[in-house]
Amino acid sequence: MFSQLFRWIADETLLHQLVQQFPTFILLGIMVVCIIILSKGADWMIEGVVHLARRTGLPRIVIGATIVSLGTTMPEAFVSVMAAWMGNPGLALGNGVGSIIADTGLIFGLICMLTIVPVNRFILNRTGWVQVGAATLLVIISLLALATMAEGPVLHRWVGILFLILLSGYMYITYYWAKQGSKTTIEEEKTDHSRLMGLGKCWFFIIIGLFLVVASARLLVPSAAEIAHRFGVPEDVIAATMVAFGTSLPELMTAITAVRRGHPEIMVGNVVGADVLNCLFVIGAAAAAKPLEIPQNFFNFHFPTMILILYSFRVFIFMNKDGRFKHWQGAWLFGIYLIYLVLQYSFNIGTVTQ
To 5 degrees, how large is the angle CA 66–CA 71–CA 72? 105
Asked whether residue 262 carries a pLDDT value surpassing 90, the answer given is no
**Comparing C-alpha atoms, which of 166, 7, 154 is closest to residue 78?**
7
Asked whether residue 259 carries a pLDDT value surpassing 90, the answer given is no
- 111-138 average pLDDT score: 84
Banded pLDDT at 187 (limits 50, 70, 90): very low
> What count of Cα atoms within 13 Å lies in the side-chain half-sphere of residue 310?
31
Most confidently modeled range among 13-22, 42-51, 245-254, 323-332: 323-332
**Comparing C-alpha atoms, which of 122, 141, 115 is closest to residue 65?**
122
CB-count burial class (<10 Å; 0-12, 13-18, 19+) for 21: exposed
Q: Which residues contact 253 (CB under 8 A, 6 or more apart)?
A: 38, 39, 41, 42, 213, 217
Report DSSP letters for 229-275, one per residue.
Answer: HHTT--HHHHIIIIIHHHHTHHHHHHHHHHHHTT-HHHHHHHHHHHH
Higher pLDDT, 255 or 333: 333
**Residue length of the chain:** 354
Q: Which residues contact 66 (CB under 8 A, 6 or more apart)?
A: 171, 174, 175, 269, 273
Query: How high is the pLDDT of residue 229?
Result: 76
| pLDDT tens-place string over residues 89-108 | 667 787 788 889 988 998 89
Banded pLDDT at 305 (limits 50, 70, 90): very high
Distance CA 229, CA 216 (A): 20
Higher pLDDT, 328 or 344: 328
Whole-angstrom Cα Rg for the chain: 19
Banded pLDDT at 186 (limits 50, 70, 90): very low
Mean pLDDT rounded to a whole number for the chain = 78
Distance CA 99, CA 305 (A): 12
Could you tell me the CA-to-CA distances from 44 to 9, 117, 127, 328 in Å, in that order? 20, 22, 26, 32
Distance CA 249, CA 264 (A): 17
Query: How high is the pLDDT of residue 141?
Result: 95
Query: How high is the pLDDT of residue 132?
Result: 93
Domain boundaries, the chain: 69-189+227-347
Higher pLDDT, 224 or 130: 130
Query: How high is the pLDDT of residue 158?
Result: 94
Banded pLDDT at 307 (limits 50, 70, 90): very high
- 136-146 average pLDDT score: 95
Most confidently modeled range among 71-75, 163-167, 240-244: 163-167
Count CB neighbours of 149 within 10 A: 13
Asked whether residue 125 carries a pLDDT value surpassing 70, the answer given is yes
- 143-156 average pLDDT score: 89
CB-count burial class (<10 Å; 0-12, 13-18, 19+) for 3: exposed
Statement: 69-189+227-347 belongs to CATH 3.40.50.11540 = no
Asked whether residue 354 carries a pLDDT value surpassing 80, the answer given is no
